[in-house]
Amino acid sequence: MKRTGILATLLAMALLLSSFGCGGAAIGSLKAINLTTSGGATPNLVGTGGTVQLTATGIYTSSDTRDLSSHVTYAVTPQGTDLAGVALPPPPQTVTISPTGLVTAVTPFDCTWTNTGSTPLLTGSYQVVATFKGISSNPVFISVASMAGNGPNGECGP
Please choose, from the candidates 63, 61, 43, 58, the residue with its C-alpha nearest in 3D space to the C-alpha of residue 158. 43
Confidence label for 21 from pLDDT (cuts 50, 70 and 90): very low
Dihedral angle over CA of 95, 98, 102, 108, nearest 10: -20
Domain boundaries, the chain: 28-154
β 44-46/140-145 pair status: parallel
Write down the mean pLDDT value for the chain: 86
CATH architecture of 28-154: Sandwich (2.60)
Written as one letter, the residue type at 46 is V
Q: Is 115 helix (H, G, I), strand (E, B) or coil?
A: strand
C-beta atoms surrounding 128 within 10 Å:
26
pTM: 0.81
What pLDDT was estimated at residue 47? 94
Q: Is the pLDDT of residue 17 over 60?
A: no
Q: How far apart are the first and last CA of the chain?
A: 74
What pLDDT was estimated at residue 3? 57
Higher pLDDT, 77 or 16: 77
Computed from CA positions of residues 124, 150, 94, 68, in that sequence, does the dihedral angle turn out positive or negative? negative
Query: What is the Cα–Cα distance from 56 to 52, expressed in whole angstroms?
Result: 13
Confidence label for 24 from pLDDT (cuts 50, 70 and 90): very low
Q: DSSP label at 109?
A: P
